[in-house]
Amino acid sequence: MSTEPEKMKTGTTTLGMVCKDGVIMATEHRATMGTLIAHTETQKLFRIDDHIGLTTAGLVGDAQSLARYITAEAELYKLKRDQPMTVKAAATLTANILSGSRYYPYWVQLLLGGWDREGGHIYSLDAAGGSIPDKYCATGSGSPYAYGVLEDNYKDELSTTQGIDIAIKALTASMKRDSASGNGYDIVVISEDGWKPVSKKEIEKRKQKLNIK
């Protein structure tokens, strides 16, 4: 993730995957400015609602602005209709915002995911407003390394317990090989029980069990 406004950067690693009992979304924490590590505690995973999350790669300012925008729209939707926005509707809304900003584009690559009455969903969204659903996705400069782990380990009917371990493995692989990714993990499970972040203590416990250093 970059703080440089004059360039489109996707120096980061984010991922999402649909499991049988929930959705896993995960990012690391590093923000770069060229070759400089500008920040080590950058937020790239945003709670849009109790059942919807957003991961961001690209310019920090654009990502933060979009997260606020989509969160407000989701809240307005809930107030007007007395029911939460579906994940598909949130992805369509986000795609419309992106495609409607051609002259002043948002330099971002997003994953929007969550759990609703139809189950789990992950959508990959590009800066032009393209929206593609999938079972698992990764974004950013570290995504090739994350995809290597995801494609080797993902399977249908995966549990969220298994998914958390895969997310840790995928982010670790990215952080070891991609200089723009690093400085820790941010992981959340979104299910019918709502938004549940995975604590640092739990992540460290799982890393030890997986023999990850």
Per-residue model confidence (pLDDT) at position 39: 86
Q: Containing domain of residue 149, as a range?
A: 14-209
Residue 1 lies inside a defined structural domain of this protein: no
Per-residue model confidence (pLDDT) at position 8: 40
Across the beta sheet with 14-19, what order do the strands follow? Answer: 136-139, 14-19, 22-28, 185-191, 194-197
What whole-number distance in Å separates Cα of residue 59 and Cα of residue 167? Answer: 23
pTM summary value: 0.92
What whole-number distance in Å separates Cα of residue 199 and Cα of residue 39? Answer: 21
**CATH (domain of 19):** 3.60.20.10
Q: How many independent structural domains does the chain possess? A: 1
Walk along the chain (213 residues) and give the pLDDT tens digit of each residue.
Answer: 654 443 444 579 999 999 999 999 999 999 888 888 888 889 999 999 999 999 999 988 899 999 999 999 999 999 999 999 999 999 999 999 999 876 678 999 999 999 999 999 999 999 999 999 999 999 999 999 999 999 999 999 999 999 999 999 999 999 999 999 999 999 999 999 999 999 999 999 999 999 998
Residue 175 lies inside a defined structural domain of this protein: yes
What whole-number distance in Å separates Cα of residue 23 and Cα of residue 122? Answer: 8
Per-residue model confidence (pLDDT) at position 1: 60
Per-residue model confidence (pLDDT) at position 2: 53
Residue 3 lies inside a defined structural domain of this protein: no
What whole-number distance in Å separates Cα of residue 2 and Cα of residue 151? Answer: 27
The answer to whether residue 14 is catalytic is no
Residue 9 lies inside a defined structural domain of this protein: no
Residue 101 lies inside a defined structural domain of this protein: yes
Residue 2 lies inside a defined structural domain of this protein: no
Catalytic-labelled residue, pool 3, 10, 12, 92: 12
